[in-house]
Structure 1
Amino acid sequence: MNTYHTLLYYCYSPIENAEDFAAKHLEFCQSLGLVGRIIVAEEGLNGTVSGTVDACKRYMEAIHADARFAKTEFKIDEVAEPSFIKMHCRYKPEIVHSGLRNPEIIDPNKQTGKHLEPTEFLAMKDQDDVVVLDVRSNYEHSVGRFKNAVTLDIDNFREFPEKVKELEQYKGKKILTYCTGGIKCEKASALLLQEGFEDVYQLHGGIIKYGKEAGGKDFDGKCYVFDNRVTVDVNAVNPTVVSTCRNCGTVTPKMINCANPDCNEHFTQCDACGEKLEGCCSTTCMEHPRKREYDGTGYYIKVPQPVNLEKISKRKHKNFPPKETV
């Protein structure tokens, strides 16, 4: 059986002519036969790519050979097949959408929370003067989160700045932030420091690295990832399932995207309901004329769709979270 790697990484480092860089970087990735999704902005890179072991090795060597990205840390997963269908490398204003674009206000290269290695995070997280804060979106922490973590009701990370005022009660405590791979914590912890929180930390490498280096202890459920695996296991010490089927309430770790392309909602659904509803979140979505064929995975190749005003309106509701990247 062929072995492939999936690489998760980010790097906050200034890039001049970032839009041109994105176009050239796409060509480079395609030349290696990689598939995945990379976001390029003036502030840096954010990517998940997948391919053969050799292609991934060559990609990491090329990234590290560029002085701008020499500090990049890759989280490497061995997978049975590539975790994407196509290769995308796009220019955007930020490498993770936060609304905090002004580098004079928030710049992770100048100020951010103290980085904790996974074993350090494990040693600190249960202390009385510590608050463990999940900075991810609802659909992410619904399928997995640290025991006793504080979660926020947000559909997208760009809503995080509005929620900081809800954390005032924790001022004076040590705030340990975490996310999937670490990228959101860089800005979240910087913002907390700016807002007067004095003792702020972040889990270096995020949940993924914590699973690899600390066994994932006390992380309940699965970790949502932004590729066709949808979720991955991280806890090899005391695993449990915390998510339930949206339709029947049965405990299930399975998260899918609705088969209705105009909904495409992230939600948890057991196999029985998946078969009954054909991968849809509701009977209404089952009736959609462009409903995609459900193959049991709930992952679909994205194709361009016409603008749908009803869909845009629905995404304002928390049951229809806007898509984001790690």
Structure 2
Amino acid sequence: MPTLLITKTISSSRTAAVIPKMLSSSTRNLNPKSLMAAISDKTLIPNPSHFPNPRPLSQIATQHLQASASRSINGVRSVSSRSSPVEISVTGEIEGSGSTLVVVSFYKFADFPDHAEMRKPLKDLCEQARVSGGIILAPEGINGSICGTRESVEKVLEFIQADERLKGLRLVESPVTPEEEAIHHGHTSHSPLGAGEDAPFRWDHVRVKLKKEIVSFGDPSVMPTEKVGKYVHPKDWNALISDPDTMVIDVRNSYETRIGKFKGAVDPLTAAFREFPSWVDDEFELAESNQQSDTEVEELSASVKEETENGGPKKLPRVAMYCTGGIRCEKASSFLLSKGFEEVYHLQGGILKYLEEVPKKESLWEGECFVFDKRVSVDHGLIQGSFKLCYGCKQPISDEDMEYPEYEHGVTCPYCFSTKSEEEKERARARQRQFESWGVIGGPDKGRRNPGRTQNASNQKEEKEISKSI
């Protein structure tokens, strides 16, 4: 059953019915069998222009905080380590404690030229509601992953979707427990990614950034709002990629594919997503300036291109692509369609949805999936994986990698040791010493000394004074 996210109206004129709607495999149609939930009913989210006197976004954010203070959610619902459907009562209210932690990833491609105006009120709302994570605003839309209590996260999503252009966010929700968040790497008050004793969230801060793209691709002509590939549900993915006529492409970066990918997938070995267009042009010889002779065309792999009997145009393969959560495939599939590919498919909900829904015994996934938070990697069932993070290069490392002489905690690993100068390594060592001495406080208290460390120092001072008096 797909996860539902129910958003409440804040309209004071009337109480709107809460209607869950499911986002379809197309950006234009609704289908109850879709993976990801979205709120698209116009009665649920107020448009700021509907008010008699349009107000600044900062005032709307303040109203969201005030409204949340007056509401309560009855009952307590336990959650497991993997994503599960949100229980809905007969009254349309979410059944669960307001303190239940959830992680929501979302994105929406839209025409959003005034995106910068949302940054400050959105960041203020997240900080006051103690919602951590990262959000990118760009002229082409919004992309983010946030963590916090269910009520706080809903407040942020309501505020975002108050903008008519951002309604219908593509959402993937993962309920979590505080115990799961207290992972041993990167989540203590004495580690580089520590969040402080009172913030058991997946990230130790919230960042709202302004960028040119919500996912860096480097080709402004690619428009996912106009055309994208066909979505494939996780349960149908195995059949598609098992077909010998299907070319499976992993559109992630090499440090991600290194720890896991689908069986038989082609790895472009890109260091950044912006390199993908060049890889496609080179792999399929599609660059306009690249004129091949008949001999050169015949030498290409039959799995990539074929010549017709009369020397006609080349035939491009059927492509099935995938990424972590789906957003990179939106641009990658749109790009391939613009290059003349006719059959382009991509995994709906990405690897994460596949690992959540497909049993391990039926899975064609090999290894673990890198994620951009403190879990570092996840396995089937979205259980936290075995990889750690090198704080020098932000790449995943295994226990075996940590046995190499090039590994130095908080400084380097076998993958970045040779690329770091001695000056960079020394700065990293100094930073690591600071973390070990004082820890890190995140959220609204970022930059403040760790209270636990300060208390320990005070106790040690008292003990010394007592010993002297004795």
- TM-score bracket relative to the smaller structure: 0.7 to 0.9
Q: Is the contact between residue 83 and residue 228 of structure 1 (CA under 8 Å) also seen in structure 2?
A: yes
1:228 to 365, 368, 374: 374
Distance 1:43 1:13 in 2: 5
Distance 2:104 2:137 in 1: 16
Tell me whether 1:212 sits opposite 2:351 in the alignment: no
Shift of 1:219: 1.3
Distance 1:125 1:83, change over 3 A: same
Distance 1:23 1:98, change over 3 A: same
Q: Is the contact between residue 40 and residue 89 of structure 1 (CA under 8 Å) also seen in structure 2?
A: yes
Q: Is the contact between residue 122 and residue 214 of structure 1 (CA under 8 Å) also seen in structure 2?
A: no
Superposition map of 1:47-86 within 5 A: 47-79=144-176, 80=178, 81=181, 82-86=201-205
Distance 1:3 1:215, change over 3 A: farther
Distance 1:167 1:198 in 2: 17
Distance 1:94 1:132 in 2: 26
Distance 1:191 1:78 in 2: 34
Structure 2 partner of 1:192: 336
Structure 2 residue matching 1:125: 3-state secondary structure: helix
Distance 1:144 1:272, change over 3 A: closer
Structure 1 partner of 2:226: 110
1:92 to 174, 195, 211: 211
1:290 to 428, 451, 464: 428
Instruction: Count the aligned residue pairs.
Output: 279
Shift of 1:274: 5.6
| CA-to-aligned-CA distance 1:286-323 (integer Å, 9 cap, x gap) | 9625325499xxxx99999xxxxxxxxxxxxxxxxxxx
| CA-to-aligned-CA distance 1:126-158 (integer Å, 9 cap, x gap) | 112111110010001111111111111110000
Distance 1:301 1:210 in 2: 35
Superposition map of 1:312-323 within 5 A: none
Q: Is the contact between residue 221 and residue 253 of structure 1 (CA under 8 Å) also seen in structure 2?
A: no
Structure 2 residue matching 1:15: 3-state secondary structure: coil
Residue type at the aligned position of 1:214 = V
More displaced, 41-50 or 61-70?
A: 61-70
2:389 to 248, 253, 256: 256
Shift of 1:273: 2.5
Superposition map of 1:120-269 within 5 A: 120-168=236-284, 169=301, 170=304, 171-215=315-359, 217-234=363-380, 253-258=386-391, 260=392, 264-269=393-398
**Structure 2 alignment gaps of length 5 or more:** 1-77, 79-98, 182-200, 285-300, 305-314, 448-470
Distance 1:131 1:254, change over 3 A: same
Residue type at the aligned position of 1:203 = L
Structure 1 residue matching 2:276: 3-state secondary structure: helix
1:10 to 70, 90, 107: 107
Structure 1 partner of 2:53: none
Structure 1 residue matching 2:242: 3-state secondary structure: coil
Structure 2 residue matching 1:74: 3-state secondary structure: strand
Residue type at the aligned position of 2:242 = D
User: Rg larger in 1 or in 2?
Assistant: 2
**Structure 1 alignment gaps of length 5 or more:** 240-251, 305-326
Q: What is the RMSD of the two structures over their aligned residues, measured on CA atoms?
A: 3.1
Shift of 1:52: 1.3
Structure 1 partner of 2:413: 281
Structure 1 partner of 2:118: 21
Structure 1 residue matching 2:426: 3-state secondary structure: coil
Distance 1:186 1:48, change over 3 A: same
Greater per-residue strand proportion: 1
Shift of 1:75: 1.3
Distance 2:342 2:441 in 1: 44
Tell me the TM-score normalised to structure 2 length. 0.54
